Amino acid sequence: MPAVSETRETVEKLAKSNYEWGFETNVEMDLAPKGLNEDIVRLISARKKEPQWMLEWRLKAFRAWQEMSEPNWAKVKHPPIDYQDAHYFAQPKKKDGPKSLDEVDPELLKTYEKLGIPLHEQEMLAGVEGAGQKTPVAVDAVFDSVSVATTFRKTLAEAGVIFCPISEAIIEHPELVKKYLGTVVPVADNFFSALNSAVFTDGSFVYVPKGVRCPMELSTYFRINARNTGQFERTLIIAEDQATVSYLEGCTAPQRDENQLHAAVVELVAMEDAFIKYSTVQNWYPGDENGKGGIYNFVTKRGICKGDRARISWTQVETGSAITWKYPSCILAGKGSVGEFYSVAVTNGHQQADTGTKMIHLAPDTRSTIVAKTISAGQSDSTYRGLVRMQPKARNGRNFTQCDSLLIGDQCGAHTVPYIESRNMSARIEHEATTSKISEDQLFYCRSRGFSEEEAVGLIVNGFCREVLKELPMEFAVEAQKLLQISLEGSVG
Amino acid sequence: MSENSAAAWQALTGRAGERAALLGTEGLPTRRVEAWHYTPLQSLNGIAWQVAPALDDAAVKQRIDGLNLPTHDGLLVFANGRFCKGLSHLPACMDVQEYGDGSAVQPLLAGRFSAGLNAALRQPGARLHVPVGKDAGLIVMVSLTEGNGVSTHLHHSITLDEGARLTLLDIQLGEGQYLTNPQMDVHCAANAHLSHVTKQVESREAARLAIVGACIGERGNYDSFTLNQGGVLARQEVVSQLSGSFSNTNVNAIQLVDGSRLNDLSSMIHHASPDCTSRQTVRTVLSENGQGVFQGKILVDQIAQKTDGYQMNQALLLSEKAQMNSKPELEIYADDVKCSHGATVGALDEDQLFYLRSRGVLEEQARDMLVQAFLLETVELVEHESLRDYLLKALPGHV
């Protein structure tokens, strides 16, 4: 789902869609040959005009990746992935790079239009009907791996915030990138993060300096556009002491036949008293009704609360992708730091999701909260997998975890796999999980008030997810509710 | 695999002979094996586990006399993996039946290391059979192991025909640095009721890999309670399958972990039929450098509609060095179910302590009281009165 498109029109479009965003744009692509080897890594680095240190970093990751094998512990099934049968670099062809939006390939603009992004800054502010005074949102749109336009650069620059494609940051702010890239998710952390480190093409870079509250919500969204191109996004967000930033990530992908691999890495660094809020609405193509096609979403997201009293909050609404493998985590290294994870995962059709979080408490007085809501319908499988670890120094650490699963239909599965490890006696961990179906009483109540069965289910599901949805920024929350309803279409009756 | 060359592996595969294939090829499970992540067996590698020598009946009798057993209707004694016929007796309504490897429990335990080890080195254990409609009362089974560097692998099987009842007190104890690896196959036919209380007080240096597989028929009940207290590394594994509709299983346990010991309760409750219920309460008290492990899975098949499953595991950490690892797991494929689990880990409640102290109770006593209260609730789940009293006596500080 795109960031802000709560116009009537979009809503109508959403309501009738099976998968509304299933179109494909014909923009001439600059494709690297299929396959993955050191030459491809060198090619990507050269195309991005990267400095030598970056190339070396990539090569190190590539060599580590070659030694690793694909993880197999997640509760997902898929045919083996041939990593040599994909293009690792695809760039929309452009002449000298657009100076303004007028120069941008009209096809590209059309795609944005279909997505419902008013890219022009003025329209961005005023474009939403009857919205009144809206909080401005800055968009860094990623069109198949290359950021095409970034808005609001000026306002942000005045506040001292750096918000740009990471490829640009590597060239313009190498000292920052060098200092933080790979510190939260080391290159060889896991199979997919190593792959990403070797071949990532672009992503976002955010730096919020000391004491600055970012003047607007930052937003990026990704589209996978060309056939057979895996997309490897890399995001790095740094909030210095007392800085605050809220970042939105939303995504759509065109409909296609072949499974596509998406292995993103997101790293967050929060210093003393800093607050990073990272919200995701993920609605990639889940495959058709027979489970064919769809995106493989193997993501590594991790944040570190480095400074005392730092806070990182992950909120996610996962409705898309054929397979989701995603565990946004918090390392609570600063005294009194706080980690939060709010998640709604909806699976329908033949989707599979194995998602959850890790809360690693390293320091005293650290707190974490996990609220995970899982909804399974159709023939899908959904798993919550989470780890809470209190290390010996996590004196007075606190964790509260709540996992609730809702099953719709008898062909689906919902699973909960929490790992709870305590090495400190004064730490307190509480975990609860429930699994149930929609109660007949609630359904009957809604039906007796004149709602159709599908509306009633939508209403109940939204109620079930309320605790999570309320954590989303306003615009996102509205869309997420609609999305939930759409995702469950065809699952009842 | 480096473990393959370890002394333990060589000795065990050597003893298993042509059954060595049942052990697999991976060696003793390491941390990398998911099911053994919190209880890796590397510490057993260095010892060439030998067959335990026979013990003298008189010495065994002395040990049993010291146990202060509750009044019972039958007694079965095993010493170092051998049945002590002279010390055992059974009630008239029971008989001893031969049970082959083709029992219904085998597939339940497939792929589980403890069961594989037992299958490879199996020693004949109890073969109990309670006929239709009979109540065999309380039977006590004592398994004593003594020696260093020796291992026993008893295989018991308990069969309850339709409507039969049995209460089994299963006591396991010993002296020395040994390894015990008992397996018990349980078959509860329709309306049968087995109450199985395990009191595990093995030597503090012993390793223990115990496994129980239970198949429960329609309206049957397998009610299990484990006091997991001994061994330097001791896993009690319970796999309970609700195969008939309206059946019930309870898999409760108390773990008392002190010193540098590790106690592990791993369970799998498999709802394979509709309208079944399962209940589980596991409480662990950890002191000194103790490590506690709880892994509990509730699996609900697609056919098992109207399942009602509940699982609670709580751990009390009494020392800075103690650690607890829990992994409660739900795997659910049916939609009309009510399943929940809860887990807590923490220290004693300061408010409760303060309350007791303000009423003049000494700090140490107050702590003991709170620990006892924490454990008492679980022991009270044991229905058999004299057994409950017997267990209470084993708790720290005698409630």
ipTM of the complex: 0.87
Q: Give tens-digit pLDDT for B57-103.
A: 999 999 999 999 999 999 999 999 999 989 999 887 776 655 455 46
| Cα gap B241→A53, rounded to integer Å | 58
What distance in Å separates residue A244's CA from the closest CA in chain B?
33
Length of chain A: 493
Q: Are the beta carbons of B345 and A422 separated by less than 8 Å?
A: yes
The C-alpha atoms of residue A137 and residue A115 are separated, in whole angstroms, by 16
**pLDDT interval class at A207 (50, 70, 90):** very high
pLDDT (0 to 100) of residue A149 = 46
Helix (H) or strand (E) holding A176, with range, is helix A174-180
Q: How confident is the model at residue A202 (pLDDT cuts 50, 70, 90)?
A: confident
Q: Distance from B89 to chain A by nearest Cα, in Å?
A: 45
pLDDT confidence tier of residue A260, bands split at 50, 70 and 90 = confident
Contacts 24+ apart (CB under 8 A), A442-445: none
- For residue B161, what pLDDT is reported? 94
Which of the four pLDDT bands, split at 50, 70 and 90, describes residue A106?
low
Least confident among A52-61, A83-92, B196-205? A83-92
For residue A115, pLDDT over 60 is answered with: no
Interface check A69 vs B, CB under 8 A? no
Under an 8 Å CB criterion, which residues of B touch A? Answer: 34, 302, 305, 315, 317-320, 322-347
Distances (CA, A) of B382 to A231, B138, B169, B277: 57, 13, 11, 17
What's the pLDDT tens digit per position in A468-478? Answer: 888 888 767 77
For residue A410, the chain B residues in CB contact (below 8 A) are 302, 305, 333-336
| Cβ <8 Å between B347 and A413 | no
Which region among A424-438, A449-463, A478-492 has the lowest average model confidence (pLDDT)? A478-492
For residue A8, name the pLDDT band (cuts at 50, 70, 90).
Answer: very low
Q: Which residues of B touch A418 (CB under 8 A)?
A: 326-329, 343
Mean predicted confidence (pLDDT) in A84-103: 61
B18 vs B118: CA distance, rounded Å = 14
**CB spacing of B330 vs A407 below 8 angstroms:** no
Residues A174, A189, A340, A396, CA torsion sign:
negative
Strands A428-437 and A398-408: parallel
Element containing residue B37 per DSSP (H, E) = none
Say what the pTM is: 0.86
**A439–chain B Cβ distance below 8 A for any pair:** no
Question: Does residue A338 contact residue A310 with C-beta atoms inside 8 Å?
Answer: yes
State whether residue A425 sits within 8 Å of chain B by CB: yes
Residue type, A15: A
Q: Position of tokens 């002394």?
A: B7
Contact A418 B332 (CB under 8 A): no
Q: A434 at the B interface (CB within 8 A)? A: yes
Residue A92 has phi, psi (to 5 degrees) of: -60, 135
Name the percent of chain A lying above pLDDT 70: 76
Closest-CA residue of chain B to A380: B333
Q: What is the mean pLDDT of residues A11-31?
A: 49
Quick check: A94 pLDDT over 70?
no
Question: What are the Cα distances from residue B393, in Å, to A81, B61, B398?
Answer: 59, 22, 5
Mean pLDDT of chain A: 80
Structure tokens at A232: 């490897």
DSSP state letter for A258? S
Tell me the pLDDT of chain B (399 aa) as tens digits. 444 568 999 999 999 999 999 888 888 999 989 999 999 999 999 999 999 999 999 999 999 999 999 999 999 999 999 999 899 998 877 766 554 554 677 889 999 999 999 999 999 999 899 999 999 999 999 999 999 999 999 999 999 999 999 999 999 999 999 999 999 999 999 999 999 999 999 999 999 999 999 999 999 999 999 999 999 999 999 999 999 999 999 999 999 999 999 999 999 999 999 999 999 999 999 999 999 999 999 999 999 999 999 999 999 999 999 999 999 999 999 989 999 999 999 999 999 999 999 999 999 999 999 999 999 999 999 999 999 999 998 887 654
Predicted local distance difference test score (pLDDT) of residue B308: 95
pLDDT band at A102 (very low <50, low <70, confident <90, very high): low
Tell me what pLDDT residue B264 has: 98
DSSP A70-88: ----SS---PPP-TTSSBS
For residue A168, how many other CB atoms are within 10 A of its CB? Answer: 15
Query: What is the per-residue pLDDT across A348-366, written as a single tens digit (0 to 9) for each?
Result: 888 999 999 999 999 999 9
CB contacts, 8 Å: B264 with chain A: none
Packing angle between helix A474-487 and helix A8-16, nearest 10 degrees?
A: 20
pLDDT of residue A82: 86
Alpha-helical (H) ranges within A127-219 are: 153-159, 166-172, 174-180, 191-199
**Per-residue CA distances from A368 to A183, A242, A327, A424, A473 (Å):** 22, 20, 15, 15, 20
